[in-house]
Amino acid sequence: MPGSLGGRKAVPWRLRRRGFFPTGESEARPDLGGRISESTLRGIRDRADIVEVVSDTVRLSRSGASFRGLCPFHREKTPSFFVHPAKQIFHCFGCGEGGSVFHFLMKTRNLSFAEAVEDLGDRYGVPVQYEKGPAPERPQEDLYRILQGASETYRELLRSSPAGKGAREFLRRRGISPEAEQEFFLGYGGRGKDILDALAREGIDPSRAEAAGLLAPREGGGYRERFRGRVVFPIADARGRICGFGARAIDESLPKYLNSPDSRMYRKSSVLYGLHQALPAIRRERKILVVEGYMDLIGMWQAGVKNVVATCGTSLTESHARAMKRMTGDVILLFDGDVAGKRSAVRAGGPLYAAGISPLVLFPPKGMDPDDWAKETPHEELSDRIARAIPLMEYIERAAGRKYDLSRIPGKLSYLQLMGKYLPWITDAAERHLYVQRVAKAAGLPEETVRDRLRGGEKAAVPVAPGIPPRASSSRPEEDMLLGLLCRDPSLIEDVRKDGVEDLLEGEAVREVVARLCRLSASQEVPDLLALLDDEAGEEARRRISEQTLRADMSPEQSRRAYPEVVVGLRIRKKQREEARLLAEIASTKDTAEQGRLFEELKAVRNERERLVQERITLR
């Protein structure tokens, strides 16, 4: 009957709230009053993926540790636009435009800073708080409420409708407990009219449900329900909002699995199923277990493993890897124990190593998937096996050693060639050196021979961005160098402040950066350069920071060693300016006594400059 679920009274979706127009009509946005809280900006910086955001506009390809593409801000044929995922910054070496993820949205979509923050907060599940209260509601909030309402309808269909009997029996056969069913809010997609009826009951335009991914248009007009006849797995973002669905057939229908189409809210290349439920355990244990399927995840959860996430019908991507890296560097891959599962684990290594994660790997016994294994293994044994997961690169090396006959030269060469494909993934120099030693020992070759054979891969692993143009000549090279050192090691600002370096600077942009960093250091143990970018930094200062951050190729230790020489260079520059001023004053005065005084001052300045020059020589 209309307005019911298999004879049961339907639960209203409660979608109508201030500013919500179910038909998709827009309303004028209220003025965004108040300053956005620093905790909001910090939360978005921690969660946002600048590569993912920029990729919506620019086609990017990997270039060392960065990504490269054609600049969206000026016409060019050779890519000079770079995005650095670890530093969360972009810069174009052609037009000079640069900044943080907020500035990219501001420039490409003509948004204010507050609007860019709201957009990213909405995208990455960070509530935007203003000093005067919460942010105004955004238009796409209605889609989240539609998805939430659909999730409740699916849940009720599974729980108690006659149509959901087959789905309930399927879940029981698969060993899904009522507790897990409730925890992950599993549902049933109905027979094809339940969501349409609910939309009509709530007065919601079906086109909005199509935008949310619930409906698909029919060729002859109207809509069909995307997940009808399937068990439905709601997918939540990190904030706990339903952003999409996965669905599994309960019979022999194809495809077996179906997902929501990509939208502003749901991107299967970046969302991780179960992340919202797993976050407390991930924060507590500081590690993530990754499986490939919804059922595998629920099986592990029922076995007491709570820090588990799953990809949503896609291979693990760099976006997934970067999202995990922001939470922890300890990632364990638990894929099927068959050939396909092992190949998937190896493929996942590329994105994970690129994100700075050296993953571990673990496989169930042959012929089992993680769900089966979790059901048949006591919790203590399962935990012990997870704790004994081995490095993925070690697994790859062992498999390569078994694949080839290392007692014969052709086998050694094939083994070396295969390892040459994977060793360049490793970005940590010490880890890479240890595996080079291991490969050399297995092949019976000197380490240098292995390095020579792998030199192409070694170069590919160097964390730089090929294609960045050389530094242009500068009238103030010491100031450029100081800015580069601060970009690499912001903690140097304390030394800068104590040494009175701000008084040595001539360029306005660098003076602004140093002054702002000094103010930030008063409230932060180590000032955040991205916070500086978002703190109303001037256009030139922002461009200089983004350029120097991308160029920064020193370690913090190297930066600290280079700092004293840079400061001495700045003092020499200041003395040179004083000399030029004094010479100009001497030339312009006819007073003999004044000339004598100026000559004495000039002599003292020259003596000090020469002393500083000698000091700089000793520092080199």
- Tens of pLDDT, residues 223-246: 999 999 999 999 998 778 899 999
Distance of CA 196 to the CA centre of its chain: 37
Shared domain for 482 and 613, answered yes or no, is: yes
Q: What is the rounded average pLDDT of the residues 110-128?
A: 86
For 338, half-sphere exposure in the C-beta direction (CA atoms, 13 angstrom radius) is 4
Q: Is residue 530 scored above 80 in pLDDT? A: no
As a whole number, mean pLDDT of residues 307-312 equals 96
> Position of tokens 């099986």?
299
Residue 508 maps to a domain: yes
pLDDT value of residue 467: 65
| pLDDT confidence bin for 518, thresholds 50/70/90 | confident
Do 408 and 300 share a structural domain?
no
Q: What is the pLDDT of residue 2?
A: 36
Q: Are strands 288-291 and 331-334 parallel, antiparallel or unpaired?
A: parallel
Tokens 């049961």 correspond to 8
Q: How many whole angstroms separate alpha carbon 148 and alpha carbon 209? A: 11
Domain membership of residue 16 (yes or no) is no
Separation of alpha carbons 289 and 334, rounded Å: 7
| Same domain flag for 203 and 230 | yes
- 3-class secondary structure for 228-264? CCEEEEEEECCCCCEEEEEEEECCCCCCCEEECCCCC
How far, in Å, are 27, 360, 400, 434 from residue 396 at the CA level? Answer: 56, 11, 6, 14
The domain spanning residue 306 has which CATH number? 3.40.1360.10
Q: In DSSP terms, which residues pair with 129 in a beta bridge?
A: 134
pTM for this structure? 0.69
> Residue 206 above 70 pLDDT?
yes
Domain that holds residue 578: 477-619
469 in any annotated domain: no
Whether 127 and 167 share a structural domain: no
Residue that is last in its domain, among 461, 488, 505: 461
489 and 525 inside one domain: yes
* Listed range (84-98, 262-276, 323-337, 533-547) with the worst mean pLDDT: 533-547
Whether residues 332 and 410 fall in one domain: no
Within-domain flag for 467: no
CA distances from 518 to 271, 527, 557 (A): 38, 8, 21
146 vs 204: CA distance, rounded Å: 9
Q: Looking at residues 254-263, what average pLDDT do you find?
A: 92
Cα–Cα distance measured from residue 364 to residue 304, given in angstroms and rounded to the nearest whole number: 16
Query: Does residue 378 form part of some domain?
Result: yes
- Distance of CA 507 to CAs 102, 393, 418, 434, Å? 26, 48, 52, 46
129 and 150 share one domain: no
Q: What is the pLDDT of residues 389-420, one digit of tens each?
A: 999 999 999 999 999 999 999 999 999 999 99
Q: Is residue 268 part of a domain?
A: no
- Flag whether 568 is in a domain: yes
434 part of a folded domain: yes
Domain with 186 in it: what CATH number? Answer: 3.90.980.10
pLDDT of residue 174: 95
Domain of residue 74, CATH code: 3.90.580.10
- 273 secondary structure, DSSP code: B
Say whether pLDDT at 563 is over 80: yes
pLDDT digits over 25-69, tens only?
Answer: 333 333 445 688 888 988 898 889 999 999 989 999 988 889 999
**In sequence order, which residues have a C-beta less than 8 Å from that of residue 20 and are 6 or more positions away?**
137, 141, 142, 145
Output the domain CATH number for residue 524: 1.10.860
Which of 461, 487, 506 finishes a domain?
A: 461
Same domain, 481 and 610: yes
Among 388, 381, 454, residue whose Cα is nearest residue 415: 454
Residues 510 and 527 in one domain: yes
Write b or e for each residue in 316-332: b if 16 or more Cβ atoms lie within 10 A of its Cβ, otherwise e: bbbbbbbbbbebebbbb
Could you write out the three-class secondary structure of 298-339?
Answer: HHHHHCCCCCEEECCCCCCCHHHHHHHHCCCCCEEEECCCCH
**According to the model, what pLDDT value does residue 21 have?**
22
Average pLDDT over residues 515-535: 73
**Biggest CA pair distance of the chain:** 109
- Judgement on whether residues 433 and 550 belong to the same structural domain of the protein: no
Is the per-residue pLDDT at 469 higher than 90?
no
Task: Please write the tens of the pLDDT for every residue from 421-456.
Answer: 999 899 888 999 999 999 999 999 999 888 887 765
Is 457 in the same domain as 501? no
Q: How far is CA 244 from CA 80, 209, 240, 547, in A?
A: 36, 11, 12, 38
- Among 259, 285, 306, residue at a domain's last position: 259
Q: Are residues 124 and 148 in the same domain?
A: no
Tell me what the mean pLDDT of segment 598-608 comes to.
Answer: 92
Q: How many domains does the chain have?
A: 5
Tokens in use for 600? Answer: 């004495």
- Residue located via tokens 């916070």: 531
